[in-house]
Every structure is written in structure tokens, then in C-alpha cells.
Amino acid sequence: MEGEVEKLEVKLLRCTTDAELLCGAAALTSTRSGSPSEILEKIDSKTAKRIIKRITGYGHASVIEHAYFTFSIEGVSRVMTHQLVRHRIASYTQQSQRYVTYDTIENYLTPSSIANSAKAKRIFDETLEKISETYKKLLRLGIPKEDARFILPNAAKTNIIVTMNARELRHFFNLRCCARAQWEIREAATEMLRQVKKVTPALFENAGPSCVELGYCPEGRMKPPECNVEETRKLFRSL
């Protein structure tokens, strides 16, 4: 029995139509006499991008809360989703262990650090096999899935759909694209950023770990020694 090595997928499913025009119009609503609908009708892309940059540069980030993004995050561990759902300004729906049966190897993930060590992998696979057998025995005894799942490990694979607005996403990227974040959520967050930058670059200019915007690492002595601020900034700006 062998668990699948990490292989997550991130898909941007939907986002607010004309998100940059909408946020630009929202920003102008505070200073113009016209109604939001009139402003939105007249605003062009170049103006919207310029206004978003100026207003968010002042720290008035509430205007980008009007833009929403929905992602499907597939084939991740429960370790990852447990961290993801700590972000409270978001909506989530996750595959349920009350309904999905965890009785085959496709339902588990192996981190590459374990997959790359023959000894660690043997111990890991043996333990997963034992867990899986125990889980199946419990189901055979008539124990409901919602109780049999108490035996399941963090390696259990799951799918989740998440919706966040652009302001919360930027905050999420600050924390979770950072080298301090755990690898699986960091990979997902970096892929989410890559995809939103393609559709709405002005909303995500200088997004990424906090250092991209700040120019220094706010983590102090927790900063990983191998992390180079300038290289990280270059990498995320070119994403």
C-alpha cells in the first residue's frame, strides 16, 4: 500500500466580473458626485488601475473588498485545510468524512520528505495500512462513518472550495506565501496568487509574503536563514 505523493491542484473557478473596474468605481464613489452606477459606466481600465493603486497605497484597502474570487483546491491533506480555514474572512465548503469513505490508498497523501526516505516511507505506509484496516473493520462492525473517521490521520486527502475577497486574499498571501508557512499551504497560496494576478494584476500588485510590500522581513528572529528578501521580492513580482 502506497499513499500518493503531494500533488495538489488549484483552480480559480470564478471571480467578480470586471473586478478592477468595480473596485476603481468604488474608490471614486467617495470623492465624486455621481452615483456608483454612473461612475462604473464611465470608468476605463487604465483609470481603474491607477485609482486602485493610489487608494490602496494610502492603506484604504476596503475598496478592494468588492472583488471576490472562488477557488477549487483539490488533493490536499487535512493538515493543509486545517490551516486554511483559520482564515476567517472567507467562505468554505469541504468534502465531508461523514459521507466519503476513506478505505483506499487514493484517499491519503505522503509528503515528499517521507517518500524520499525508504525507512520513513516504510513506517508511514505500514501505519497508514493499519489505520485503513482498522477503519474498514469499524465500518464492518456497523460504526457510522462519522465515528469511524476518528481513526483517520492528517494525511487524509480532501477537496475544498474557498471564496475570499481581494483584501483578505492579500492578507492570506502575506502570511501563507511566506517561507515561514508550511510547504503545502505555501504551494497552494502561491498558485492562487499566480492565477489571480493573471486576471486582476492591479488588485494584486506587490502581493505575496509581507516582505514584497514592506521591503524587509517582519518575522524578526523567526526568519528562516536561507530566505533572501530581495530574491523573494523579485520572484513574487515576476509571478
Ligand X SMILES: Cc1cc2nc3c(=O)[nH]c(=O)nc-3n(C[C@H](O)[C@H](O)[C@H](O)COP(=O)(O)OP(=O)(O)OC[C@H]3O[C@@H](n4cnc5c(N)ncnc54)[C@H](O)[C@@H]3O)c2cc1C
The residues annotated with a catalytic role in the active site are 176
Phi/psi zone of residue 220: left (φ > 0), alpha (ψ -120 to 50 degrees), beta?
left
Residue 1 interacts with ligand X (CB under 6 A): yes or no = no
Residue 180 interacts with ligand X (CB under 6 A): yes or no = yes
Nearer to ligand X, 132 or 165 (CB): 165
Q: Could you say which of 50, 53, 87, 136 contacts ligand X (CB under 6 A)?
A: 87
Which stretch in 8-16, 66-74, 173-181, 210-218 sits in contact with ligand X by CB under 6 A?
Answer: 173-181
Partners of residue 92 on adjacent β-strands: 162
Residue 98 interacts with ligand X (CB under 6 A): yes or no = no
Residue that has been written with the C-alpha cell 476603481 in this structure: 24
Question: Which is it for strands 4-5 and 109-110: parallel, antiparallel or unpaired?
Answer: parallel
Residue 89 interacts with ligand X (CB under 6 A): yes or no = yes
Residue 175 interacts with ligand X (CB under 6 A): yes or no = yes
CA distance linking residue 232 with residue 161, whole number of Å: 28
Residue 45 identity: S
> Could you tell me the three cell numbers for 78?
487535512
Written as one string, the DSSP assignment of 86-136 is: T--SEEEEE--TTTS---SGGGBEE-HHHHT-HHHHHHHHHHHHHHHHHHH
Measuring CA to CA, which residue among 12, 5, 3, 6 is closest to residue 192?
A: 12
Residue 223 interacts with ligand X (CB under 6 A): yes or no = no
Q: Could you say which of 88, 119, 140, 221 contacts ligand X (CB under 6 A)?
A: 88
Which stretch in 71-79, 100-108, 132-140, 172-180 sits in contact with ligand X by CB under 6 A?
Answer: 172-180
Q: How far apart are the first and last CA of the chain?
A: 38
Nearer to ligand X, 49 or 176 (CB): 176
Least distance to ligand X, CB of residue 62, Å = 12
Which stretch in 54-62, 64-72, 80-88, 197-205 sits in contact with ligand X by CB under 6 A?
Answer: 80-88
Residue 140 interacts with ligand X (CB under 6 A): yes or no = no
Binding-site ranges for ligand X (CB under 6 A): 86-89, 168, 171, 175-176, 180-181
